[in-house]
Chain A
Amino acid sequence: MTNSTEKETTPSSLSSVAAAAASKKKQSTGAQGVGLEARGIHAWFGDKLVLEDISLDFWSGTVTALIGPSGCGKSTFIRTLNRMHEFIPGAAMAGEVLLNGRDVYESGTDVTKIRLKVGMVFQKPNPFPSMTIADNVLAGLKLAQLKVPNKDDLLEECLLRAGLWSEVKDRLSAYGGSLSGGQQQRLCIARSLAVRPEILLMDEPCSALDPGSTLRIEETISELSSSMTIIIVTHNMQQAARVSDYTGFFLSDGGPGQLVEVGATSDIFSRPKDIRTENYVTGRFG
């Protein structure tokens, strides 16, 4: 790990734990090194510090789950990763997010290019209601003015990867709002895939869905994880255990949210190092 030596005294050294754990896992998944690094991320809303000194590495081709009780800053954290944090009035941050070695907050960076590489799926399914299913999937191309040789192929590919193709292939010109909640969420995943992101952030993607739809989304995540980096925020510990390779546990003791522990998912759930993690994953609080 590049940054583990200089920050030995801070909890960010936890990331070296993750790195160590990850390097073990690395051989087994055949992943290609670090895709995204968060270094010393702090976040503020107005004067209130909500996130303190988070450092985390996300390995290419893995799924990282971020768990923790409500209000511990998980969502804020992943929103700093694709620069959605700055839309909230009064927001501020400190630290670096390195995407392929370059800081996404570097001045002169084109933020729209960052968001093309780091896609996001939100808590509530939010297809564009004024667009058809096909237009929704391809919306990113239109919004970012990208050119692709064959839109139909891309459309089919994205819907297939999102596990929605068989359900909607006969009604691609229906409006996005006509789908069920779970289908809408998979449509949103397909929409994110169309701009070919390297990393996909998912902010509690299943919290508004029924168990059946949740299962479908989880299958989709597993299929996608072979080809991209996925970071998923979830309240649901079983979900984290089912879909992720690594798990990070966030906690706020009334103050700013902190990263308590991170490691291979199996370790976090079976052999947590921190007593607070153990309490949380065994359901003693939170």
Chain B
Amino acid sequence: MTIAPNRSTSLPARRELSNKPRLSDRVFRGVATGGGLSSLVILGLIFIFLANQGYQVLKSEGFGFITGSNWLVVQDNAGITDLAASEFGIAAMLVGTLLCATIAVIIAIPISVLCALYLTFYAPQVIKRIMVALIDLMAAFPSILFGMWGFFVLMPHAEYWARLLHKYFGWLPFFKMDVDIFERSPFVAGVVLATMIIPIITSISREIFSQTPLDRIQAAYALGSTRWAMIKAVVIPYGRSGVVGGAMLGLGRAMGETVAVYTVLNLVYQINWQVLIGAGGNMASMILLKFGEAGPTEIQALMAAGLALFILTLIVNSIANIIVSKTGSKGR
């Protein structure tokens, strides 16, 4: 038997592996695809409708909508809002949003990461199971509960902590205080938001840490490593970016939070970078506050602000999700 040396000329034509689905399957696939596309459609509709409502305000304010820090509704004698004379700038809300969310993330990250490390590498099985259930439950607490707890239970403590911060770190510009009122500050709101996002960051970090390749962990232990040395050499390099992603998801949640901030923060429409001064407000809480007494034009401005919040959280969440899913799949 010899092999005919004719491969250059007569490569057989590829047969079509036809796998044409039946009609019922095609209908089914269509319906499921439609369902799958719903998230795209909904996100698109949110953008379109909010943009449609906010369009006039955005057009009138231009770039000042982002940079301006005044929210001024001017009405003529007939009670009709004068769009040209009114000022709608969301800079104050943006600053408030970033400030509160940043405080929350700074407080939450170390606590969450330590907690996740404990649950993954230290905890006995029983404690681990109980804690995981509790943290899951905490993640499902309604935000109004955090708000009320923050207002009635946490605030007195947080006020005391704020005084200490001022006493010992008052020389730092953002801890400066001229008056002796430490209530309802962005610091308090940040602490409440931190308690809200600790379960989120903890469970994502825990998931990432538990995916650390076992062979690397064992390699470190086999080299005479202590638990902490192993964590530093193996777990942290592996999970670092995942924790960053988890923290950004927490940031997104903190930026979009409405009721908890509304409850504990003294909502004042001004740019305030001072952590301890009782004034500020994030976008969501400001929108809720202004909505009650808003006329048609102001509502349009609030819709535009909602659009800005939507885009902002979408960007933060998208980056976070990309980071988290990459950590899960790649080897390093």
> A130 to chain B: which residues have CB within 8 Å?
237-238, 332
Best-buried of B221, B234, B332 by chain A (most CB within 10 Å):
B221
Interface-forming stretch among A63-71, A108-116, A273-281? Answer: A108-116
Q: Nearest Cβ distance between residue B121 and chain A, in whole angstroms? A: 11
A135 to B213, CA, bound (A): 19
- A119-146 contacts to B, CB under 8 A, are 119-120, 122, 124, 126, 128-131, 139-140, 142-145
Within 8 A of B (CB), among A69-98: 82, 84, 87, 89
In the complex, are the beta carbons of A128 and B234 less than 8 A apart? Answer: yes
Please determine whether B215 and A144 come into contact, CB atoms closer than 8 angstroms.
no
B233 proximity list for chain A (CB < 8 A) = 128, 131, 139, 142-143
The answer to whether B226 touches A126, judged by C-beta atoms less than 8 angstroms apart, is: no
- The complex places the Cα of A87 from the Cα of B233 at a distance, in Å, of 18
- Give the distance in Å from the alpha carbon of A33 to the alpha carbon of B215 in the complex: 33
Binds B, one of A44-52, A188-196, A220-228, A250-258: A188-196
**When chains A and B are docked, how far (Å) is the Cα of A119 from the Cα of B225?**
12
Give the CA-CA distance A145 to B225 in the complex, in Å. Answer: 9
With a cutoff of 8 Å between Cβ atoms, the chain B residues found around residue A129 in the complex are 216, 237, 331-332
Within 8 A of A (CB), among B194-235: 213, 215-216, 218-226, 229-230, 233-234
A11 at the interface (CB under 8 A from B): no
When C-beta atoms are compared, the residue in chain A nearest to B225 turns out to be A143
- Using a Cβ cutoff of 8 Å, how many contacts connect chains A and B? 78
Partner among B213, B216, B224, B238 whose Cβ is within 8 Å of the Cβ of A195: B224
Give the CA-CA distance A233 to B218 in the complex, in Å. 17
Whether A143 pairs with B332 at a CB distance below 8 angstroms is no
Cα A169 to Cα B225 with chains together (Å): 26
A181 interface residue per 8 A CB criterion = no
> In the bound complex, do residue A128 and residue B216 qualify as a contact, i.e. CB atoms below 8 Å apart?
yes
B223 near A192: Cβ-Cβ < 8 Å: yes
Q: Size range of the interface on B?
A: 20 to 34
Q: Is B125 an interface residue (CB 8 A)?
A: yes
Check: A272 CB closer than 8 A to any chain B CB.
Answer: no
Q: Which residues does chain B contribute within 8 Å of A115, judged by CB atoms?
A: 221-225
8 Å CB contact of A128 from B219, B224, B226:
B219
B119 to nearest A CB, angstroms? 14
The answer to whether A116 touches B224, judged by C-beta atoms less than 8 angstroms apart, is: yes
Picked from B125, B218, B226, B331, the residue with its CB within 8 Å of the CB of A87 is B218
> Which bracket fits the contact residues of A?
20 to 34
- B220 surroundings in chain A (CB, below 8 A): 128, 139, 143
B-chain residues with CB within 8 Å of residue A144 when the two chains form the complex: 223-226, 229
How far apart are the CA atoms of A119 and B221 in the complex, in Å? 10
Q: How far apart sit A46 and B205, CA to CA, in the bound complex (Å)? A: 29
Interface residues of B in 161-191 (CB under 8 A from A): none
Q: Which B residues touch A82, using CB under 8 A?
A: 222
Residue of A whose beta carbon sits closest to that of B238? A130
Closest residue on chain A to residue B233 by CB atoms: A143
Residue numbers in A under 8 Å from B125 (CB-CB): 89
> Cβ of A191 and Cβ of B223 under 8 Å apart?
yes
Residues A126 and B219 in contact in the complex (CB < 8 Å), given A112-B226, A115-B224:
yes
Beta-carbon contacts under 8 Å, B117-143 to A: 125
- Among B218, B219, B222, B233, max chain A CB count under 10 A is at B222
Cα distance, A184 to B224, chains bound together (Å): 20
- Chain B neighbourhood of A139, CB < 8 A: 220, 223, 233
Contact yes or no, B213 A126, CB < 8 A: yes
Q: A89-B125, A129-B331 are in contact. Are A143 and B216 (CB under 8 A)?
A: no
B224 x A188 contact (CB < 8 A): no
Cβ B221 vs Cβ A87 within 8 A = yes
Nearest-CB distance from B331 to chain A (Å)?
6
Evaluate contact between A119 and B332: CB separation under 8 angstroms: no
Q: Which residue of B lies closest to A144 (CB)?
A: B224
**Given contacts A142-B229, A143-B229, A188 and B221 within 8 Å (CB-CB):** no
CB proximity to B under 8 Å, residues A172-207: 177, 188, 191-192, 195
Identify the 3 closest CB pairs spanning chains A and B, nearest first: A130-B237, A116-B224, A143-B225
Give 13 new A-B contacts, CB below 8 A, not counting A140-B223, A143-B220: A87-B221, A112-B226, A113-B224, A116-B224, A126-B218, A128-B233, A129-B237, A130-B238, A142-B229, A143-B224, A143-B225, A143-B229, A143-B230
B contacts, CB < 8 Å to A: 125, 213, 215-216, 218-226, 229-230, 233-234, 237-238, 331-332
7 A-B residue pairings within 8 Å (CB atoms): A87-B221, A119-B223, A126-B215, A129-B331, A139-B233, A140-B225, A195-B224
